[in-house]
């Protein structure tokens, strides 16, 4: 089957679309973008309303509502520290969430399903930039291998459902994400929001120094979450292949240079030092986005502009952040 089939029609504005994880960074951005485009039949449940680890509850919800589209943006996520500290929970809970959703979607004959993973599924030392074909060709980064294995299982289940049931279901692997609605917890967040909060607090307190984990040399790629939301809708309407597809920006930046940009946006004027006793994680992780570009999609937001918009959101919502 070709990657861009002529038979794949645009979604209808009246389609019933269930966004799993609609209160999170990714799900929230997708929900907002769907709303902005005029989709009027969106379904969303908070974790207190529907525990996606509860198989019976998930089946009851999906079978009762029979969505036309499911976007799985629900996951237990975190940075190096969280992944390294809670591997059992990261493996078990993510497997439960996605298996329950995918099995229920098969039972309800859901026509379109988008499974979202993470670029950490690829081998630690994959050739750069990382092509989708690198999947399962080498060992994983040990600090987040449990989360990666769960997401790889999700890709496999998408492919198995296509093969067994003829589903037009797809999976996409975003690079590192950031933006409004992010988790700014000082220990369990990803690197960009963690840096943004740290520099903000250092500025507020008048601290003369901010200490970064590791050497600062690892290279990372960062995609603004609103660009990902745009890509998700684009893929649902323009992509139909069993192979997962990368979503990124196609260029990366060192952690040290990222810190310099964040510091500049925040307006922090102190010193930046490195704690080289802390882990670096994967040395480089840049996605090859040639396939999604060939479909006609590219990101729109520059790194500095995205960080600026994220910081503006942070300032407005600082008192009400989910993780203080």
Q: Which residue has the tokens 């994400």?
A: 177
Q: How far is CA 82 from the centre of its chain?
A: 16
Q: How far is CA 279 from the centre of its chain?
A: 22
- Which helix (H) or strand (E) segment is 265 a member of? helix 255-266
Residue 221's nearest CA partner among 282, 149, 156, 138 is 282
Question: Which DSSP string do the residues of 89-134 spell out, in sequence order?
Answer: HHHHHHHHHHHHHHHHHHHTT-SEEEEE--GGGS-TT--SSBPGGG
Give residue 15's region: left, alpha or beta (phi > 0; psi -120 to 50). Answer: beta
d(CA 106, CA 303): 38
| Token digits of residue 82 | 């969280």
Phi, psi of 271 (to 5 degrees): -95, 145
For tokens 């969430």, the residue is 97
- Of 18, 122, 147, 311, which one is the catalytic site residue? 147
Q: Is 147 a catalytic residue?
A: yes
Enumerate the active-site residues.
Answer: 147
């Amino acid at each position: 089957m070709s990657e861009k089939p002529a038979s794949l029609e645009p979604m209808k504005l009246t389609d019933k679309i269930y966004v799993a994880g609609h209160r999170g960074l990714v799900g929230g951005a997708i929900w907002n973008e769907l709303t902005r485009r005029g989709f009027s039949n969106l379904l969303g449940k908070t974790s207190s309303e529907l525990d996606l680890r509860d198989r019976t509850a998930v089946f009851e919800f999906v079978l009762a509502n029979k969505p036309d589209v499911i976007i799985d943006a629900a996951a237990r996520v975190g940075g190096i520290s969280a992944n390294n500290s809670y591997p059992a929970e990261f493996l078990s809970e993510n497997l439960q969430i996605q298996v329950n959703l995918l099995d229920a979607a098969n039972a309800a004959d859901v026509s379109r399903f988008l499974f979202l993973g993470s670029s950490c599924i690829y081998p630690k030392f994959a050739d750069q930039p990382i092509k989708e074909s690198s999947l399962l060709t080498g060992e994983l980064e040990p600090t987040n291998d449990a989360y990666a294995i769960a997401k790889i299982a999700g890709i496999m289940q998408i492919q198995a459902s296509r093969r067994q049931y003829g589903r037009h279901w797809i999976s996409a692997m975003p690079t590192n994400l950031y933006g409004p609605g992010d988790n700014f917890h000082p220990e369990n967040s990803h690197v960009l929001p963690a840096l943004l909060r740290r520099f903000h607090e250092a500025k507020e307190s008048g601290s003369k120094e901010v200490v970064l984990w590791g050497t600062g040399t690892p290279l990372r790629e960062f995609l603004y979450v609103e660009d990902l939301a745009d890509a998700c809708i684009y893929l649902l309407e323009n992509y139909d292949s069993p192979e997962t597809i990368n979503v990124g920006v196609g260029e990366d930046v060192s952690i040290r240079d990222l810190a310099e940009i964040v510091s500049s946006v925040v307006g922090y004027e102190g010193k930046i030092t490195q704690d080289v006793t802390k882990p670096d994680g994967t040395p480089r992780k840049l996605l090859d986005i040639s396939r999604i570009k060939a479909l006609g999609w590219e990101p729109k937001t520059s790194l500095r502009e995205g960080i600026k918009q994220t910081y503006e959101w942070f300032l407005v919502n600082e008192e009400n952040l989910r993780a203080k």
